Structure 1
Amino acid sequence: MICPRCRSTEAGTVAHSPVAGHWTMNSCSVCWYAWRSTEPATATDPDAYPVEFRLTAEDITTAPRLV
């Protein structure tokens, strides 16, 4: 699975709907973006995710850290 926000391959399913087959919850362990399978393509598809909200590996490594 590819993360829509940072395009990492470190994304995966973290939960399933209580009613089987309704949705899955996915999360990226690199940028911590999370999305449900029922959201629109702009939130779930790496190619449709808005360019202005995408993160690069450099964005992630140089982001300020909160202490």
Structure 2
Amino acid sequence: MKCVRCLNDQAYAVSEAPDGSGAWEVYACPICHYNWRSSEPDYITDIEKRDPRFQLTNEEIAGLGRFI
């Protein structure tokens, strides 16, 4: 699955609605550590509609470690 923040293909489902309804799933990205629900609005989950100011490149992610 593609991460909606960094566009890497390593995102995965970590949880789903506990009632078994399939109403939502939670996804996580091990690269940029972003998490999101499948029930988020399109401007969060649709890469084409997401505000580009909130995207991260691999270079930006690599540079984040210097702040830790």
Question: Which structure's residues are more often helix, by fraction?
Answer: 2
- Decide whether the 8 Å contact of 1:15 with 1:24 is kept in 2: yes
Superposed CA RMSD: 1.0
Gaps of at least 5 residues in structure 1 are none
**Take 1:55 and 1:62, find their aligned partners in 2: how far apart are those partners?**
11
Gaps of at least 5 residues in structure 2 are none
Cα offsets for 1:7-63 (capped at 9, x unmatched): 010101000111211110001000011000000111112222210110000000112
Identity %: 36
Residue number in structure 1 paired with 2:51: 50
Alignment of 1:40 with 2:41, yes or no, is yes
Structure 1 segments, 4+ long, off by >4 Å, are: none
TM-score (norm 2): 0.88
